[in-house]
């Protein structure tokens, strides 16, 4: 429906233009009159249709009515065959009233659409209106004052009307130049009013005696104007004519410039070409020129000021973090640079503290991003309160903050500030969601006057120190020393080498048997990755798995490990090294689990190696239940549906709760080595393991004890009725070629009289 009205509006506008052109080409007065009659009639019809179809608000109604009456009055006025003087006076007065009505309606629309934002376009509009006024004065008004035989009252009325029309022009230009978006109705309205003004101008020109304008040219603009007024009212966008509009993305800068320059230059040229006729003319010209010059100057000052303000806002926004309103990375770097540059003069040792909120991702994942934002704002506040007044706090990315102490005098003083920062997190942060405890890892780097590093370097040093603090167990401080950079470089080398490891076949798997504690039988194996590099050096999984996870290489590497492990199991079953039912445990990192392809990778590996899904255990740490639990849950359910089983690795070292354990589809707990190591001598460790076993039993889960190193630990586990175990005592992880011998030696082990020393 709206589309139909829109098309109809444009069609009517086009018809108006065509009729106007035909009118211009036809000398007959009756054609002009007929067209005018058609235009006025269709306007009446369209106004009624539009009113009922769009129900615009009364202000819109007023505008349209104003335009219509304005145009009709203009036409009446143009009709030179008016009989007597009184009628002329009535028509001139009527015309003036309509002008005033139109000006007020336009003012209302402009104010409603733009609010106070209109002030920005008033300056330009004033210049245009004053320019137009000067032209009107020189070209129309002043000459018409001298028309012989015209009563003074008519001349005066026409003068005021023409002056009012500059106000209409002024409002029209402000509407067009305003920051509000221009809808089709605005354009159509603009067309209607400007054509009507053009008609008046031609008429006044004709009257002034400057030029003789034929009737067909006088009539045509009014005909088009009436059609455009109809189109304005028919177009669906008329509804929003008086609504507060959204701001335009692209401001009409070029259009403004062209129009205001023209409004300035054309009157000046005209003044230069035509001499004043008398003293009054001279005075009016001088005053008008003065006002024009003053408004141009005011406009230029306003433009320069606005520009400077916008510039300042832009610079501030570009250097401020929108969430915490602290300086961002680029501004912090500038501050650091300044502090470092001044250090040699003042003998100070500027210190940079790199602060990373510990486990911020957990907060974001578990409490939601808006809570995460609240934490960051609260942290920013704490930091600002904790540091000395001369220090500058900034947020340089995500959960990373930087504190610059430009006036610090030594490492010791900087460390004291760092301690105060660490201390400020002791108290929980009060969020809308409740209290939250956070801690931070802080890296401190100082810039000694003797060897001043660049701002970037100093920040990198503090960053490297922060990583050291994280490695040392978080919630602590580390002071930068050169060895930390070496570590960072080493890490980079490791990262690059890891990318190539898979294709260079430097990765291998070793296997650690898992045995049944009652019978001593081998039940299965855990696959553990090894990386032997070209130069013969080996890296332990603890070194390279975290890097593989961070970089995402774990996804292809993990897929390879899965196939490799299942292929070995298949071979061992086929050659009789282990029973048909033996299982294979493969470690899986959270990153892999969140890979959308993971489930199909698993099912592909199973079918390629013809291993039953029940024989595959996927081991994951408790963290998967905490970070992005929903996604993990969905993936685990799909794996369970395949028949694959899930084990929680290193159980007891994470933060999982009982309710999580219950809601996740897991089938096995692997008790972490740290609990097993104390089981033989430490009563509390023993009772802890007992509790885990009881809980696991109650939840219907299978249990494996990890890291069994001594016979006494084994004995204790048997006493506690733990069913399964693995560890160096039973077997170290071995290469696949050694598996036959390992399993054979374990057979002997099973005959070992009840596992006693
Ligand atoms: P995990 O899955 O808990 O593996 C057990 C770790 O304990 C292995 O270390 C194993 O060699 C070691 N271990 C076994 N028995 C004993 C013992 O009696 N005493 C001591 N002290 N240690 C024992 P490893 O091979 O260095 O692996 C470390 C961790 O790296 C693994 O812990 C696992 O989380 C991860 N990892 C290993 N291979 C892979 C893999 O293919 N993919 C993924 N995502 N992670 C892997
Ligand atoms: Mg494991
Ligand atoms: Mg483990």
pLDDT digits (tens, 9 = 90+) for 286-333: 888 888 888 888 888 887 888 889 888 988 889 999 999 999 999 999
Burial of 372 (0-12, 13-18, 19+ CB in 10 A): buried
To which H or E segment does residue 399 belong?
none
Distance 363 CA to ligand 2 centre (A): 26
Could you identify the atom of ligand 1 that is nearest to the CA of residue 649?
3
Top-ranked range on mean pLDDT: pick from 270-279, 304-313, 402-411, 611-620: 611-620
Cα-to-centroid distance, 674 and ligand 3 (Å)? 10
Residue 70: per-residue pLDDT: 65
Longest dimension (CA), the chain: 139
Q: Alpha-carbon distance 275 to 138, whole Å? A: 10
Residues with CB under 5 A from ligand 3 (ion): 649-650, 706
Say if residues 357 and 375 touch (Cβ distance below 8 Å). Answer: yes
Reported as a single tens digit per residue, the pLDDT across 157-186 is 777 877 788 778 778 877 777 767 788 888
Residue 354 has pLDDT above 90, yes or no: yes
CA of 528 relative to ligand 1 center, distance in Å: 6
> pLDDT band for position 453 (50/70/90)?
confident
* Tens of pLDDT, residues 566-593: 999 999 999 999 999 999 999 999 999 9
- Rounded to whole angstroms, how far apart are CA atoms 127 and 174? 11
**SS3 at position 338:** helix
Tell which one of 528, 617, 620, 649 to mutate to probe ligand 1, the residue whose CB is within 8 A of the most ligand atoms. 528
| CB 135, CB 199: distance < 8 Å | no
pLDDT band at 2 (very low <50, low <70, confident <90, very high): confident
Mean pLDDT for 237-247 is: 74
Least confident window among 491-495, 516-520, 662-666, 686-690: 491-495
- Nearest alpha carbon, ligand 1 atom 33: 587
Q: Cα-flanking dihedrals φ and ψ of residue 28, to 5°?
A: -65, 130
Among candidate residues 136, 59, 66, the one with its CA nearest the CA of residue 100: 66
Entry pTM:
0.53
CA of 504 to the centre of ligand 1 (A): 23
Number of other residues whose CB lies within 10 A of the CB of residue 278: 10
- What is the Cβ-side half-sphere exposure of residue 360, based on CA atoms within 13 angstroms? 20
Q: Which atom of ligand 1 is nearest to the CA of 706?
A: 15
**Can you tell me the mean pLDDT for 119-145?**
78
Ligand nearest to the CA of 730: 1
Q: Calculate how far, in angstroms, residue 202's C-alpha sits from the geometric centre of ligand 2.
A: 92
Using DSSP's 3-state secondary structure scheme, residue 516 falls into strand
Average pLDDT for residues 223-250, to the nearest whole number? 80
**pLDDT value, residue 334:** 95
Mean predicted confidence (pLDDT) in 264-276: 85
* 63 confidence band (pLDDT: 50, 70, 90): low
Which ligand 1 atom sits closest to the C-alpha of 621? 34
On whether the CB atoms of residues 159 and 140 are closer than 8 A, the answer is no
Give the distance (Å) from ligand 3 centre to CA of residue 372: 31
Instruction: Report the percentage of the chain scoring pLDDT > 70.
Output: 92
Between CA 64 and CA 226 the distance in angstroms is: 10
- pLDDT surpassing 70 at residue 619: yes
Q: Is the pLDDT of residue 755 over 50?
A: no
Mean pLDDT in the chain? 86
**Ligand 1, closest atom to CA 728?**
18
3 state SS of 127: helix
- As a whole-number percent, the residues of the chain with pLDDT over 90 amount to 42
Q: What is the pLDDT of residue 280?
A: 82
Task: Using alpha carbons, list the distances in angstroms from residue 558 to 431, 553, 584, 598, 640.
Answer: 39, 8, 14, 10, 19
Ligand 1 atom nearest residue 554's Cα: 44
Position in ligand 1 atom list of the atom nearest CA 540: 26
Burial category of 387 from C-beta neighbours within 10 Å (exposed 0-12, middle 13-18, buried 19 and up): buried
pLDDT of residue 586: 98
Mean pLDDT, residues 256-275 taken together: 83
In this structure, the residues whose C-beta lies within 6 A of any atom of ligand 1 are: 512, 528-529, 540-542, 545, 558, 561, 587-589, 619, 649-650, 673, 706-709, 727-728, 733
Of 68 and 419, more confident = 419
Instruction: Indicate if the pLDDT at residue 15 is higher than 70.
Output: yes
Q: How confident is the model over 199-221, as pLDDT tens digits?
A: 877 877 777 666 787 878 888 88
The alpha carbon of 727 and the centre of ligand 1 are apart by a number of angstroms equal to 10
Q: Which two tokens stand for residue 80?
A: 């030179």
Residue nearest to atom 16 of ligand 1 (CA): 707
Cβ(702)–Cβ(646) under 8 Å? no
Degrees to nearest 5, angle at CA 30 with 25 and 31: 40
pLDDT of residue 461: 93
* Cross-strand pairs, 7: none
**Highest mean pLDDT (candidates 237-246, 541-550, 592-601):** 592-601
**Mutation choice for ligand 1 from 530, 541, 545, 672, CB with most ligand atoms inside 8 A:** 541
Residue with CA closest to ligand 1 atom 22: 707
Name the pLDDT band for 265 (thresholds 50, 70, 90). confident
pLDDT of residue 757: 44
Ligand nearest to the CA of 729: 1
CA of 367 to the centre of ligand 2 (A): 29
> Which of the two residues, 437 and 383, has the higher pLDDT score?
383
pLDDT of residue 102: 78
Tell me which of 474 and 82 has the higher pLDDT.
474
- Residue 707 zone, left/alpha/beta (φ > 0; ψ -120 to 50; rest): left
Residue with tokens 């179809």: 53
Tokens at residue 730, please? 């039973």
Which range is least confidently modeled, 16-20, 497-501, 577-581, 654-658? Answer: 654-658
The confidence score (pLDDT) of residue 756 equals 45
Report how far residue 473's alpha carbon sits from residue 589's, in angstroms, rounded to the nearest whole number: 20
Residue 630 pLDDT level (bands cut at 50, 70, 90): confident
Q: Which atom of ligand 1 lies nearest, measured to the CA of 670?
A: 3
């Amino acid at each position: 429906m709206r589309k139909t009205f829109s098309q109809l509006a444009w069609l009517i506008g086009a018809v108006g233009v065509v009729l106007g052109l035909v009118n211009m080409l036809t000398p007959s007065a009756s054609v002009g009159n007929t067209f005018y009659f058609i235009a006025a009639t269709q306007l009446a019809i369209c106004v009624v249709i539009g009113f009922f179809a769009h129900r615009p608000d009364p202000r819109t109604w007023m505008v349209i009515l104003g335009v219509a009456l304005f145009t009709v009055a203009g036409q009446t006025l143009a009709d030179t065959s008016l009989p007597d003087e009184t009628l002329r006076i009535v028509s001139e007065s009527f015309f003036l009233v309509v002008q005033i009505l139109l000006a007020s309606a336009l003012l209302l629309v402009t104010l409603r659409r733009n609010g106070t934002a209109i002030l920005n376009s008033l300056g330009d509009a004033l210049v245009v209106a004053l320019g137009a006024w000067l032209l009107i004065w020189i070209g129309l008004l002043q000459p018409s004052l001298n028309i012989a035989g015209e009563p003074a009252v008519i001349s005066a009325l026409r003068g005021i009307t023409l002056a009012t029309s500059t106000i209409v022009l002024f409002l029209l230009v402000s509407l067009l130049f305003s920051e509000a978006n221009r809808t089709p109705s605005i354009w159509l309205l603009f067309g209607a009013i400007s054509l009507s003004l053009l008609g008046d101008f031609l008429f006044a020109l004709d009257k002034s005696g400057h030029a003789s304008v034929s009737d067909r040219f006088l009539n045509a603009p009014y005909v088009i104007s009436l059609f455009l007024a109809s189109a304005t009212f028919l177009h669906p966008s008329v509804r929003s004519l008086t609504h507060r509009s959204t701001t335009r993305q692209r401001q009409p800068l070029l259009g403004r410039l062209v129009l205001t320059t023209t409004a300035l230059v054309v009157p000046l040229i005209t003044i230069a070409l035509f001499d004043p006729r008398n003293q009054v003319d001279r005075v009016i010209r001088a005053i008008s020129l003065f006002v024009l010059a003053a408004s141009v100057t005011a406009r230029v000052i306003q433009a320069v000021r606005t520009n400077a303000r916008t510039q300042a806002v832009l610079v501030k926004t570009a250097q401020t973090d929108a969430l915490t309103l602290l300086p961002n990375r680029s501004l912090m770097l500038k501050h650091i640079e300044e502090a470092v540059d001044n250090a040699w003069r003042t003998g100070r040792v500027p210190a940079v503290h790199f602060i990373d909120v510990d486990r911020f991702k957990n907060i974001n994942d578990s409490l939601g991003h808006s809570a995460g934002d609240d934490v960051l704002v609260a942290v920013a506040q704490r930091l600002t309160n904790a540091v000395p007044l001369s220090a500058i706090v900034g947020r340089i990315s995500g959960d990373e903050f930087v504190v610059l102490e430009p006036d610090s005098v030594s490492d010791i003083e900087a460390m004291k500030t760092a301690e105060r920062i660490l201390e400020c997190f002791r108290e929980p942060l009060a969020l809308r969601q409740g209290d939250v405890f956070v801690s931070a890892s802080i890296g401190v780097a100082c810039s000694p006057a003797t060897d001043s590093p660049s701002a970037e370097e100093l920040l990198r040093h503090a960053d490297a120190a922060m990583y050291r603090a994280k490695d040392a167990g978080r919630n602590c401080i580390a002071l930068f020393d050169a060895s930390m950079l070496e570590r960072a470089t080493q890490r980079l080398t490791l990262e690059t080498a890891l990318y190539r490891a898979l294709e260079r076949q430097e990765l291998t798997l070793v296997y650690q048997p898992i045995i049944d504690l009652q019978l001593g039988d081998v039940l299965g194996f855990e696959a553990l990755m090894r990386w032997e590099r070209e130069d013969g050096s080996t890296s332990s999984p603890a070194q390279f798995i975290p890097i593989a996870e961070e970089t995402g290489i774990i996804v292809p590497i993990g897929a390879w490990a899965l196939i490799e492990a299942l292929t070995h199991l298949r071979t061992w079953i086929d050659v009789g090294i282990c029973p048909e039912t033996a299982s294979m445990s493969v470690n899986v990192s959270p990153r892999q689990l969140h890979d959308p392809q993971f489930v199909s990778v698993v099912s592909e590996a199973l079918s390629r190696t013809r291993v039953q899904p029940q024989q595959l255990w996927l081991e994951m740490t408790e963290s998967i239940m905490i970070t992005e639990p929903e996604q993990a849950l969905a993936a685990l359910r799909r794996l369970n549906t395949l028949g694959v089983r899930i084990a929680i690795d290193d159980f007891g070292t994470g933060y999982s709760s009982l309710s999580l354990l219950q809601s996740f589809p897991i089938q096995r707990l692997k008790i972490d080595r740290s609990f097993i190591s104390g089981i033989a001598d430490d009563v509390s460790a023993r009772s802890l393991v007992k509790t885990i076993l009881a809980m696991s039993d109650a939840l219907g889960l299978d249990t494996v004890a990890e890291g069994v190193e001594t016979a006494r630990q084994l004995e204790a586990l048997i006493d506690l009725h733990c069913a399964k175990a693995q560890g160096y005592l039973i077997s170290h992880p071995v290469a696949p070629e050694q598996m036959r011998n390992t399993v054979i030696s374990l057979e002997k082990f099973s005959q070992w009289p009840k596992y006693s020393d």
